[in-house]
A = this chain, B = another copy of it.
Amino acid sequence: MRDLDAGVCAPRGFRAGGIWCGIKAGSRKRDLALIYSEKPCTAAAVFTTNRVQAAPVLVSREHLEGGILRALIANSGNANACTGEPGLAAARSMAELAAGEFAINAGEVAVASTGVIGVPLPIAAIESSISSLADSLRSDAAGHEAALEAIMTTDTRKKAGALELEIGGKAVRMGAMVKGSGMIHPNMATMLCFITTDAAISRELLDRALRRAVGRSFNRVTVDGDTSTNDMVIIMANGEAGNVPLDAEGPGFDLFAEALQTLCIKLARAVAGDGEGATRLVTVSLKGAATEEAAETLARAVASSSLVKAACFGADANWGRVLCALGYAGADFDPGKTDVYFSGPAGEVLVCKAGAAVPFSEEDAKRILLGDEIEIRIELTGGGSGAATAWGCDLSYDYVKINGDYRS
């Protein structure tokens, strides 16, 4: 497995593009993206668990039932959520407009939106620009970049990745772009992630690999505890790599699933590190819990705690807040058998042993906590083997600033 400095156009047979169509009325930043595959793709997706589901989520969910995708159209600047029947009609129109450009079925087009909730989607802007968007598609890095820019909202960094692996002697590639910075929380919160691959793989196995990868990556990221109405991860596999199709579990599938998980974790970390207003990425790793599930519940609670996040912003080694968050997480553990370390590129300090204070150098702790990346490492010494990692970020003044007046 090797990293590629590329995105959704890395796998063969995919083209992508992005333009400004007018939804982001003020800024003239790109706001409409398209990803297209020459050949039909098996496809799988994971959608938001929020009970309020945006129109594009409803439409994409319906289209994914067929299991085959050719294209994916996405806009930023407007979430098309809480927009009633007209919103649903607009989401359907987006799919139809894209389908019309390639003479494919609208049911083979996924739709995604992100942005402000409750404002009617200006579908006319999309209609008048769809042809130039289709014309702009490219199979190189520039196509990927344009599409990625067109799905960004409060993101401050471009978050993408690609890698290549070998399955049965054939080079298989996968590439991805992700959007998300606020409203990020376990279970698919305000995030769009589009993944392409040229692997030949059955729909069932693709779905299995995606769910597993998302469970250990995006669903363990938290920025602010809010889960959104719009989010989705979609993967499209067009089979252009020419590998013997993966249609049963085995070494080939394991390689594919592992690579997909690696790619998703890379992007999940990027989302956490680009949390709204974040100044540092906070990784919470926990081992020794009774089960992986318990470990995940505990690690997530620490990564989600506003008080832990504020302490990370202030580079304050306030480990009592870590214990406190473990205490209300809802999973079983013995506070008296809990060790906590703060670590980072600048070193590591043990700050809590067996649930109680130990002497440590405040100076060393400060140096570690001032880094761009902090790890809060928790070891439960009661003998369990459950381990999990969660990712978050600090809570800064800028989070409040960004979200205090988002609509204007």
Contact = CB atoms under 8 A, between A and B. Distances in A.
Interface stretch (A11-19, A143-151, A351-359): A351-359
Nearest to A327: B52
Contacts of A118: 319-320, 323, 352, 356-357
A400 B82 contact: no
Contacts of A321: 117, 226
Copies in the complex: 2
A66 to B, nearest CB: 26
Contacts of A397: 397, 400-401
A319 B307 CA distance: 26
A229 B323 contact: yes
A74 B267 CA distance: 48
B52 A323 contact: yes
A182 B310 CA distance: 12
Contacts of A243: none
A129 interface: no
Nearest to A229: B324
B225 A225 contact: yes
A116 B355 contact: no
A82 B323 contact: yes
A306 interface: yes
A27 interface: no
B83 A357 contact: yes
A37 interface: no
Contacts of A40: none
A314 interface: yes
Interface in A82-96: 82-84, 87
Interface string A53-92: 1000000000000000000000000010111100100000
Interface string A297-341: 000000011110011011111111101111111001101100000
Interface of A: 49-53, 79, 81-84, 87, 116-120, 182-183, 185, 187, 189, 224-229, 304-307, 310-311, 313-321, 323-329, 332-333, 335-336, 352, 354-357, 395-397, 399-408
